[in-house]
Amino acid sequence: MRWKELLFVSSCLITQISCHQTGQPNRNNRSFTIDYGMNTFVKDGVPFRYISGSIHYFRVHPNHWEDRLKKIRSAGLNAIQVYVEWNSHEPEPGKFQFEGNQDLERFLELAHKWGLLVILRPGPFIDAERDFGGLPFWLLQKNKQVKLRTADPSFMKPVRSWFKVLFQKLKRLLHQNGGPIIMVQVENEYGSYGQQTGKCDTEYISQLRDITREHLGQEVLLFATDGGGSIDSIRCSKVPGVYSTVDFGPTEDFKDRFHHQRLFEPHGPLVNSEFYTGWLDHWGHPHSQTPSKKVNSVLDAMLKFGANVNLYMIHGGTSFGFGAGSNFPPFQVTPTSYDYDAPISEAGDLTPKYEDLKRVVAKYEAIPDAIQVKNSSKRAYGSIYLKPLGTIFDHVKNLTTFSMGISTNPLTFEELGQAFGFVLYEHRLDHVTTNPVQLEIKGLHDRGYVYVNQELQGILSRSESIFTMPLIIAKGQKLQILVENQGRICFGKNLNDFKGITSAVKLGNNILTNWHMRSIPVSHVSHFDTTPPSLKTKFKSMSFWKGHIKISCPRSSPEDTFLSFQHWSKGLVFVNGFNLGRYWPRLGPQETLYLPGPLLKCGINDVLVLEQEKTPCRFHKGSWLNCNIKSTDSPQINGQTPSV
């Protein structure tokens, strides 16, 4: 490094003034390192400070990737931080997906195109409020006793296999190879897990470090991040060769948190790897909001202090399909929207928080004026009339992907080889009971719809800790329990979150045995074409409804919209066969689902709804009334929630 650059960096850190990158990089010697003497990153021989933002490619439609990346760069950010979700890339052992929404290479190449460096976070565990923290469910299927996030060989063997495939694809995209990746994270906030479990498996972290270097090379810069509020948390994930960083939000004392980092990294750049621009939501709880003034005033102070900062999130996006996870304790389910109150909204709109952010960043980084960005147009396609297609019982044979003969005890989703959706448990009662009799399922994961001969009797709920209910059932009748997986736990020591019925089923004083099970993942819905003529008025729960959005677009492509489920209860919606996600307006706060324009087409678009509970429809004089959902041009993710 030239003496003038050394003097510049030194003066920046001492006086805490803004530090713009100076000089020209040496393109014959691409590198990204740490100068511990000058407490700074060095990119291609030049002092460097990053201001980055987190974006999840798996939460954004691929047609919108470039738009979102341009908006990030237009705010003056010079890097993005990217999780890699193992689950979505290897949904079955040895079967890898890197196309469409999983085309990670294309996403990173687009970031490179728009001048954004990449901070890669490959896990294998990522949290991110994703099902199972991004781990594939089949880890629990292969070994019920697997010790996740440890050096347990039954965990590390599939991790090694996955990392080999992933890193072979991404090595060419490292900065030193001409690509955008400047840093790679080892695990993810492992210190928290160590504190929660009481075990810090540094051998596990060391193995991940060595695997990463084996495939990406010795020169790649590795880092870890942990909550800056706990010294023990940072200590738990500290191993040689991995640079320790911290994460914290705008309500915390940033100097105190950086002091904690300095206890483990006395020299080197100060880094907040997750500076929270907002926070996550849960169904039934008010929408989280963080004032822009607070976020950006603390950001300004940290940048003036000379720190590197990553904004989590710069753009949150959407947990399409069954991607959303849950938290525990208590058991809380995250909604479909991952807006996160981020500067760029779920639908890609530039919020006032974005404009405030841009003004702060402009003090420290040049804003690329040549990049033109704007909000996408939204369109209200109006009311969508829905017609009934029968209940889940009418279509159970077509929906079932696997049927288990008779098992003494109920089997979990994982034992049945099922990732998401529902499992139907059936038992034919062979004895006389009291009237009523108490049904008890202590290990119900997560929501159970209890039927007797296809007539709904009630709902059991893990999130509400409702595991018992009175039941009227006679000898010879069929007890049917349709269990919904609401998302595996994504954070904490209870990651081994098996779904379905995980305990004995008690009816009075008797433990019920001899169960027949059907896997109903609700992954293929193209066969719903006709209405069973004999069930025109029996749609009390678990009913399918179909409608259409007709779009005429002679001069442009279909535009983004939002589906409103006002007066509906809880369920799933598919548009042209794509699982848009879960709706639950009765619980809130999310009342609309974001529908990206690229999922629509000119002409007729199919909309299929699975209403799990109660519809607003009524049958009158041969016709169904009030069976409408609505396409609107504005979102509502801040609706009413139950009073606590």
**546: nearest Cα among 604, 600, 609:** 609
189 is a catalytic site residue: yes
346 classed as catalytic: no
- In three state form, how does the secondary structure of 428-462 look? ECCCCCCCCEEEECCCEECEEEEEECCEEEEEEEC
For 605, phi and psi rounded to 5 degrees? Answer: -115, 130
CB 497 within 8 A of CB 489: yes
Phi and psi, residue 371, nearest 5°: -85, 115
| 468 within 8 A of 429, measured Cβ to Cβ | no
By C-alpha distance, which of 49, 54, 2 is closest to 268?
Answer: 49
Catalytic member of 5, 90, 129, 189:
189
Going by their DSSP bridges, the two strands 221-227 and 181-185 should be labelled as parallel
| Cα distance between residue 433 and residue 427, in whole Å | 14
Asked whether 570 and 583 are in contact (CB, 8 A), the reply is yes
Neighbours of 27 (CB within 10 A): 8
What is the SS3 assignment for 127? coil
Report how far residue 106's alpha carbon sits from residue 91's, in angstroms, rounded to the nearest whole number. 20
Q: How many residues does the chain have?
A: 644
Residue with tokens 């209200």: 380
CA 585/CA 637 separation, integer angstroms: 9
| Cα dihedral 90/92/95/98 (nearest 10) | -30
**What is each CA distance from 243 to 123, 271, 375, in whole angstroms?**
16, 10, 38
Per-residue DSSP letters for 249-280? -TTS-HHHHHHHHHHH-SSS--EEEEEESS--
Buried b or exposed e, range 473-485, using 16+ CB within 10 angstroms = beeeeebbbbbbb
CB 135 within 8 A of CB 142: no
Measured CA angle at 293 (ends 292, 299), to 5 deg: 90
Give the angle 372-309-241 at the CA atoms, nearest 5°: 125
Residues 617-625: contacts with CB under 8 Å, at least 24 apart:
617/386, 617/388, 617/539, 617/545, 619/536, 619/537, 624/387, 624/388
Angle (deg, nearest 10), helices 104-113 and 65-74:
30
Q: Which of 252, 265, 274, 591 is catalytic?
A: 274
CA 446 to chain centre: 18
| Contact status, residue 328 vs residue 489, Cβ threshold 8 Å | yes
- Tell me the catalytic residues: 189, 274
